Amino acid sequence: MIVLGLTGSIGMGKSATATLFRDEGVSVYDADAAVHELYQAGGAAVDPVEAAFPGVKAGDAIDRIRLRERVLNDSAAMEKLESIVHPLAGKAQQDFRLAAKAAGEPFIVVDIPLLFETGGTGYCDFVLVVTAPADVQRERVLSRPGMTVDAFEAILARQVPDAEKRAKADFILSTAHGFEFARDHVRAIVALMNRKADEADA
């Protein structure tokens, strides 16, 4: 089974690209969704995160905005949070991979925002980086509810620069030219990954 890592800095269009892969029938692991589930009522991260950062819980779930305010500009706090969440998210990803392999999937996509930052590229056969011009990225991110310039810049500071990601990528997809342009590229990558999977099985 071929594993394609999908990543990109905030606001580049990574989630929209993941949807295009799903539209082509590809199984996609969504790291953001996995973490969101961990923070929801009953999620495995709720109690340990609240214990580490008292007051970030709202009802039976973690308030993600409140949590972001607590850790975003505090490297030690962010590292503490990651030490709690990353192992839990890693198990969710491993479960997804095992289920896909058992189902006979020829290849899967793992959508992980911090793929380079967490060393996740070592577990992927290929890496696709989604990109867009800096001004487009900035406009997209600052249009999000609750996002501020300071928060945007703090997030960027923790991410590997876009140029560095592109330099390390097997594939680069720009989302600055519309959905059909992106869809054509995704379809070409799907066809190539399926061929690679067939060759590996031969």
Model confidence over 157-201: pLDDT tens digits? 889 999 999 999 999 999 999 889 999 999 999 999 999 998 887
Where residue 98 falls among pLDDT bands split at 50, 70, 90? Answer: very high
User: What is the DSSP code string of 3-33?
Assistant: EEEEE--TTSSHHHHHHHHHHTT-EEEEHHH
CA distance linking residue 69 with residue 202, whole number of Å? 51
Domain containing 192: what range?
A: 2-201
CA distance linking residue 150 with residue 48, whole number of Å? 27
CATH code of the domain covering residue 169: 3.40.50.300
Structure tokens at 119: 């060393």
- Nearest-5° Cα angle at 54, 72 to 67: 25
Show the 3-state SS of 72-140: CCCHHHHHHHHHHHHHHHHHHHHHHHHHHHHCCCCEEEEECCCCCCCCHHHHCCEEEEEECCHHHHHHH
DSSP state of 177: T
Q: What is the mean pLDDT of residues 26-47?
A: 93
Split into its structural domains, the chain has a count of 1
Q: Does residue 68 have a pLDDT over 90?
A: no
The strand pairing partners of 130, in sequence order, are: 173
Where residue 143 falls among pLDDT bands split at 50, 70, 90? Answer: very high
